Each structure stands twice: as C-alpha cells, then as structure tokens.
Amino acid sequence: MDPRRLLLTMSKPNDFDAVRQDVRSILKKKDYDHGSIGPVLVRLAWHASGTYSKEDDTGGSNGAGMRYEEEGGDPANAGLQEARKFLEPVKERHPWITYADLWTLAGVEAVRAMGGPDIPWKSGRTDFANTKYLPPRGRLPDGALAQDHLRDIFYRMGFNDQEIVALSGAHNLGRCHKTRSGFDGPWVVNPTRFANTYYRFLLNLDWKPRNWDGPFQYSAYAPGMDDDDEPLMMLPTDYALVQDEKFRPWVEKYAADQKLFFEDFSKVFAKLIELGVYRDEDGIARCDKRDAKGSYISAPKKSGVQSSL
Ligand code: HEM
C-alpha cells in the first residue's frame, strides 16, 4: 500500500474497535471455502491458545508462537498460515496491536460476525521475541481418537467435561480440508452461521463410517440434501461426544437450548483465550509467568529505576 494512504488508514494505539471493524470487513471472501474466512480465524485463535498445559504453565495464547516454524509448522496447525496471512493487512493498518492480541480478537470478532455470542476479550498479550518459550509440538487434539484423548488434552488445559462439549460446538463453523488435516467436509449445512446445529445433527442424523480412501470419519446427509450435495461429516472425536455417557447429556442440553449453548460457549472461549496470559498490574502480559517471578526485567519505571521482578 502507498505509505501515505497507509498512514491515513492507521488507527490510534488501543483503538481495538477499529481493529474489530477491520476484521469484520475482511471476513467475506467469495472464492474461499464457503465464502467466509471467519471459521479459519476462529481455529487460529483456538490453536494459539490450546497448547496450554497447567502442569508446567507453558503454552497458551500469549506470545503468538505460531509465527515461528517450530510451532507454526506443527502438522496440527496445517492451513493456519492462510489465516495468519489473511490478517496481515489488518496488522499493517494497526501496527501497534500484537499478533497474540490480534489472533484472539479476530476469533472473537469472527464468532460475533457469524451470529454467535459476544465473547469477553482483554488486550495485553505480548509477542515472543524468540523461540525460548514455545510449547512443544503435539499438544493439540487428534481428531482420529476418542473420549480418553479428549479428556487428556482438555483436562491438561484445565477444562471439564461440560466445557469440552461447549468448546466442540465451534465445529458448527467451517470444514475439514483433505490438504490440511486429511479429513474432509463440513459438519453442518450452513457452516458460516454460528448455531447449535452441530449438536442437533450429532444426535439426529444417521452417521455412518465414510467409505473412501481417507482417514476414518463419519458421514451423513441432513433432511433436504440429495446425493449430489457434499455429505456432512463428524470426526471420531466429535462422535465420541454422543458415545460417552458423561459428555452426551451436555450434547442433549445444547441441542435443545441454543441460548444456553451461546452463554456457555462465550464463557469457555473467553477462558480458552486467556490461557497462559499473566498480566502485570498495567494489564500487559509477561512473556512467561516464571520470568515474572524470576529473571524478567520490566521496562524502566518512571523513577528511572529498573526493577527485577
Ligand atoms: C475437540 C477436539 C478437536 C479436534 C480433534 C479438532 C479437529 C479439527 C480438525 C481435524 C479440523 C479440520 C482442519 C482442516 O482440515 O482444515 C478442525 C477444524 C476446525 N476446528 Fe477443530 N478440533 C477440535 C476442537 C476445536 C475447538 C475447541 C475449536 C474452537 C473453539 C475448534 C474450531 C475449529 C474450526 C472453527 C474449524 C474449521 C476451520 C476451517 O474451516 O478452516 N475446534 N478441527
């Protein structure tokens, strides 16, 4: 962009509403998937956060570690380079925002723009300056597995069974891509509209193993679809939610009550994007909590005295 034009479109630091509006303005993309980049932005916010481990307090949405190959190149993150690229013009117009804030805010704004609930969002995440604090690969869930795996992964982040089911409702959005995860297809008929259809379809459609040369996944048609339509899909981890006796009651609740789902999704997504973010009294996140206790040197205070916290 012409630097003079860029200056005109730049927002003032901390004008997060300007960033929200800008994110909204880029969501529609005619030739992309189902016409919106909203779903992949939601997935970006989730994968930025879902590396958190409460066991050693590492990972989480602070740092924007996916900018580095070690994290960005994790096969679980395949395709998210597209999402990050889509957000580059927004970052260019609002250079003061950190990537870690931008990725989480874009997810929140995308959910809202697609008809979902408002999700509380706080700024203050910082971007790592190096790879020192990157979480190891392999912390994100594997769709080919089932309930024990879901519990291992999400309990590690600090979530309970109800929260696992509520978070999974994000699969009302977007689709699987053969070239990214190996799986294929959308979960619902209208995958750019946030709703509780995912739970209703999980319970009510006739899911059968898909007969194809890809990984094991479930396949079904919704009423009104015909053989020419692309079939809907469920991952083994999605289907585990109706097979497991503790998960299933929550699927039933959310299928019957969209308002409850929206309320619970808002709370749990807000919790997700706060994982691993420890803010100073000024609201700015430290790179790492252990550093806050140990060797982190904060910016000089007004008195000019450097404090070692
Ligand atoms: C429960 C464990 C989960 C597993 C195993 C899982 C797995 C997957 C897989 C395999 C894909 C397809 C990726 C591709 O091929 O492009 C996907 C897409 C997606 N996931 Fe999940 N996911 C899980 C949880 C979540 C959570 C917690 C969220 C958000 C709260 C989420 C949001 C999404 C979205 C929005 C997409 C669509 C992306 C697009 O359209 O490009 N997922 N997930």
The range of the structural domain enclosing residue 201 comes to: 147-269
Q: What does the pLDDT read at residue 284?
A: 87
Same domain for 264 and 281, yes or no, is no
| Residues 64 and 91 reside in one and the same domain | yes
Question: Token pair of 198, please?
Answer: 């995912």
**Does 191 share its domain with 241?**
yes
Tell me, yes or no, whether 303 lies in a domain: no
- Could you tell me if 179 and 81 are in contact, meaning their C-beta atoms sit under 8 angstroms apart? no
Report the C-alpha gap between 240 and 243 in whole angstroms. Answer: 5
How many separate domains does the chain show? 2
What is residue 53's three-state secondary structure? strand
User: Cα(30)–Cα(179) distance, rounded to whole angstroms?
Assistant: 20
Residue 216 is part of a domain; what is its CATH number? Answer: 1.10.420.10
Q: Is residue 5 part of a domain?
A: no
Stretch 148-165: mean pLDDT: 98
Q: Which residues are catalytic?
A: 47, 187
265 and 276 inside one domain: no
Residues 128 and 51 grouped into a single domain = yes
pLDDT score, position 303: 42
Residue to mutate (ligand 1; options 49, 114, 171, 177; most atoms within 8 A of CB)? 171
pTM to 2 decimal places:
0.93
One domain for residues 175 and 260:
yes
- For ligand 1, mutation pick of 109, 165, 176, 273 (most atoms within 8 Å of CB): 176
Give the Cα separation of 193 and 197 in Å (integer).
Answer: 10
The enclosing H or E element of 220 equals strand 218-220
pLDDT tens profile 197-209: 999 999 999 999 9
Question: Which residue carries 């009423």 as its tokens?
Answer: 223
Residues 42 and 123 in one domain: yes
Task: State pLDDT tens for residues 66-122.
Answer: 999 999 999 999 999 999 999 999 999 999 999 999 999 999 999 999 999 999 999
Dump pLDDT digits (tens) for 162-175. 999 999 999 999 99
Calculate how far, in angstroms, residue 217's C-alpha sits from the geometric centre of ligand 1. 14
Q: Which atom of ligand 1 is nearest to the CA of 265?
A: 30
Question: Is position 304 within any domain?
Answer: no
> Torsion-angle region of residue 194: left (phi > 0), alpha (psi -120 to 50) or beta?
beta
